[in-house]
Amino acid sequence: MAVTKEGGPTHFYEEIEPFCRWRRTEDVDIVELHLPSGLKKEHLKIQISNTGILTITGSYPVDKTKSIKFRKETKVEKSCNRNEIRAKFSKGVLYVTMPKTSPTAVAPYLGSQGNTSGTRVSESDADGSNIAKCGRESHSKFSSLRERLWRKPIIEGVAALVVVVVAVVGAVKAYQCVIASPV
């Protein structure tokens, strides 16, 4: 355990990313955030900004020196009635219900093929409603994991190319030294 200059214990934070999924219908979007046991309603804070970013944060103590915290941000669709957003916390799951002002169809995820909303539609769950995992909507620092994993092969390729170039330059210089040295 770390100790401060005053001799007291240092407080540690463990940052987590809770499992999140979307349920989308024509008249409502529901975000389900599965939170760890021990978290209480009092530990949660839900805000919506003027720019339409829904922010859900939480922090709770595990013991005297350790706390767990999380932050989840997602863009609220323009069709959402922001004054009617409701949240319910039950059995470790936070449900944020966002009613829509006008019914809209859920568009399939098109990636970089022209879809700017970034909505991803996947399989249906047991009750038949569409499920979309928190993905492109999420603006947390963890959401860049997908992009980092996608870029990993590119970075590895560039690194391999750099190694090859350095090896070739080294071989050329070594050859020049051998040719230039008197025998």
Domain containing 54 — which CATH number? 2.60.40.790
DSSP symbol at 149: H
Q: How many CB atoms lie within 10 A of CB 103?
A: 10
**CA distances in angstroms from 19 to 31, 55, 69, listed in the order given:** 11, 15, 14
The structural domain count of the chain equals 2
The residue type found at 109 is Y
CB-side neighbour CA atoms (13 Å) of 59: 9
HSE of 142, CA atoms in CB hemisphere, 13 A: 14
- State the residue range of the domain holding 161: 142-183
Share above pLDDT 70 across residues of the chain, in percent, rounded to a whole number: 66
Claim to verify: residue 75 and residue 156 sit in the same structural domain? no
| 169 in Cβ contact with 177 (< 8 Å) | no
**Which amino acid is present at 111?**
G
To which residue do tokens 């993905």 refer?
A: 135
| pLDDT tens-digit map of 42-58 | 999 999 898 889 999 99
Mean pLDDT, to the nearest integer, of 158-181?
Answer: 87
Same domain (yes/no): 63, 148: no
Bigger pLDDT: 37 vs 165: 165
The stretch 23-30 carries a mean pLDDT of: 90
Cα distances (Å, whole numbers) of residue 53 to 5, 45, 76, 140, 149: 40, 14, 6, 11, 25
89 and 179 in a common domain: no
What is the mean pLDDT of the segment spanning 95-111? 65
Least confident stretch, 24-28, 157-161, 164-168, 178-182: 178-182
